[in-house]
């Protein structure tokens, strides 16, 4: 991507050196619950492989989760890693500013809704959120309770090295997806889906998939504007598509379990995720992202 280093943002809350951020957390799932998003599905898979336990089932079945008191493994940060994270923080700050400034103009123009900024919390290992204890093993997520996106920057190494989705646009897609959940909160979509899930528990996973696919499409809507502004380099779109495909439920389940159970999907297949990201990239229109329309 073509971006300008050296930017700053009042929307970034850096807790990486805040030792008071850990501890027992708030417990429970919080208001609306955590959207595990791209990072959560990847790192839950890694945990499942390392500990030989189905962590997907624990999450979907109401097992131990954020705030359960399980300690996160402390990660030693050396000067070289600090330098890498400094550059990555610079890039993520640029993306955050660009995504939010884009929605400031785009959302009222296309929906008559007013966009207000989300915050981005950077942390290491663990920190607290109204949605429960945020741990690096959960990956990036959006918490509707405080309208903040939580990211441990170490996640991006996993995205590139373990799951073959390198590149700056892949990193940008992750953050744009989480801000897509914030757009859903503003438009009232997130609240409607939670009420439907509560009233019809059998539809919980189906509705979760539609919510996640819409966030993918919203990430694509932002991506459309970057193409119009000539911010993309050759291969960037392909990088984003690889990231979306890498975190499809079917691919993750096949890698983690050796089999696929469509009834347990919460984010959509690789084909669905790339399809909806592509739709946003091609149209640039919020109205094209109606993943809830029955076909």
DSSP string, 21-88: G-SS---S--SS--B-HHHHHHHHHHHHHHHTS-HHHHHHTT-S-TTS-PPPPP----HHHHHHHHHH
**Is the distance from CB of 182 to CB of 142 less than 8 angstroms?**
yes
Q: How far apart are CA 25 and CA 63, in angstroms?
A: 17
Q: What's the whole-number mean pLDDT along residues 145-162?
A: 86
DSSP for 237-287, please give it.
HHHHHHHHHHT-HHHHHHHHHSS--GGG-SS--HHHHHHHHHHHHHH--GG
pLDDT: is 96 or 26 the higher one? 96
Nearest to 291 by CA among 224, 178, 223, 208: 208
Q: What's the whole-number mean pLDDT along residues 157-173?
A: 79
Residue-level pLDDT at 102: 97
> Of the ranges 48-62, 84-98, 225-239, 274-288, which one carries the lowest mean pLDDT score?
48-62
* Sign of the dihedral through C-alpha 246, 251, 256, 258: negative
Q: How confident is the model at residue 206 (pLDDT cuts 50, 70, 90)?
A: very high
Start-to-end CA span in the chain (Å): 36
Cα distances (angstroms) measured from residue 258 to each of 29, 63, 151, 252, 253: 29, 22, 29, 9, 7
**Is the distance from CB of 72 to CB of 79 less than 8 angstroms?**
no
The pair of structure tokens assigned to 97 is 């500013």
Residue-level pLDDT at 200: 93
- Could you give the 3-state DSSP secondary structure of residue 119? strand
Nearest to 151 by CA among 119, 122, 177: 122
User: At residue 183, does pLDDT exceed 70?
Assistant: yes
Q: What's the whole-number mean pLDDT along residues 36-52?
A: 49
**Is the distance from CB of 50 to CB of 73 less than 8 angstroms?**
no
Residue-level pLDDT at 72: 42
Cβ partners under 8 Å of residue 279, min gap 6? 217, 220, 288, 289
Q: What's the whole-number mean pLDDT along residues 119-136?
A: 91
Q: How far apart are CA 6 and CA 4, in angstroms?
A: 7
Cα distances (angstroms) measured from residue 18 to each of 15, 35, 40, 67: 5, 24, 23, 18
Element (H, E) at 197: helix 189-199
Cα distances (angstroms) measured from residue 26 to each of 17, 65, 67, 150, 198: 20, 12, 6, 15, 22
In percent, how much of the chain has pLDDT > 90? 48
Q: How confident is the model at residue 101 (pLDDT cuts 50, 70, 90)?
A: very high
**Is the distance from CB of 100 to CB of 16 less than 8 angstroms?**
no
User: At residue 25, does pLDDT exceed 60?
Assistant: no
Q: How far apart are CA 187 and CA 193, in angstroms?
A: 12
Could you give the angle at which helices 189-199 and 204-228 cross, rounded to 10 degrees?
A: 160
> Of the ranges 25-39, 238-252, 259-273, 274-288, which one carries the lowest mean pLDDT score?
25-39
């Amino acid at each position: 991507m073509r971006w300008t280093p050296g930017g700053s943002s009042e929307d970034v809350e850096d807790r990486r050196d805040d030792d008071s951020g850990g501890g027992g957390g708030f417990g429970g799932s919080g208001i609306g619950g955590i959207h595990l998003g791209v990072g959560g599905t990847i790192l839950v898979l890694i945990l499942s492989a390392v500990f030989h336990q189905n962590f997907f089932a624990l999450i979907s079945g109401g097992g131990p989760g954020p705030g359960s008191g399980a300690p996160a493994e402390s990660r030693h940060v050396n000067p070289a890693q600090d330098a890498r994270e400094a550059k990555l923080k610079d890039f993520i700050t640029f993306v955050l500013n660009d995504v939010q400034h884009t929605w400031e103009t785009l959302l009222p123009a296309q929906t008559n809704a007013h966009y207000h900024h989300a915050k981005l919390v950077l942390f290491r290992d663990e920190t607290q959120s109204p949605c429960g204890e945020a741990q690096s093993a959960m990956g990036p997520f959006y918490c509707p309770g405080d309208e903040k996106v939580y990211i441990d920057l170490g996640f991006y190494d996993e995205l590139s090295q373990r799951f073959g989705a390198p590149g700056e646009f892949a990193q940008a897609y992750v953050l744009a997806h989480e801000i897509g959940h914030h757009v859903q909160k503003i438009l009232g979509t997130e609240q409607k889906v939670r009420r439907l899930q509560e009233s019809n528990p059998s539809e919980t996973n189906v509705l979760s998939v539609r919510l996640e696919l819409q966030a993918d499409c919203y990430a694509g809507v932002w991506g459309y504007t970057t193409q119009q502004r000539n911010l993309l380099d050759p291969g960037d779109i392909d990088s984003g598509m690889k990231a979306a495909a890498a975190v499809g439920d079917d691919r993750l389940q096949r890698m983690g379990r050796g089999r696929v159970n469509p009834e347990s999907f919460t984010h959509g297949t690789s084909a669905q995720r790339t399809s909806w990201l592509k739709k946003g990239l091609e149209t640039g229109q919020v109205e094209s992202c109606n993943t809830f329309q029955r076909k």
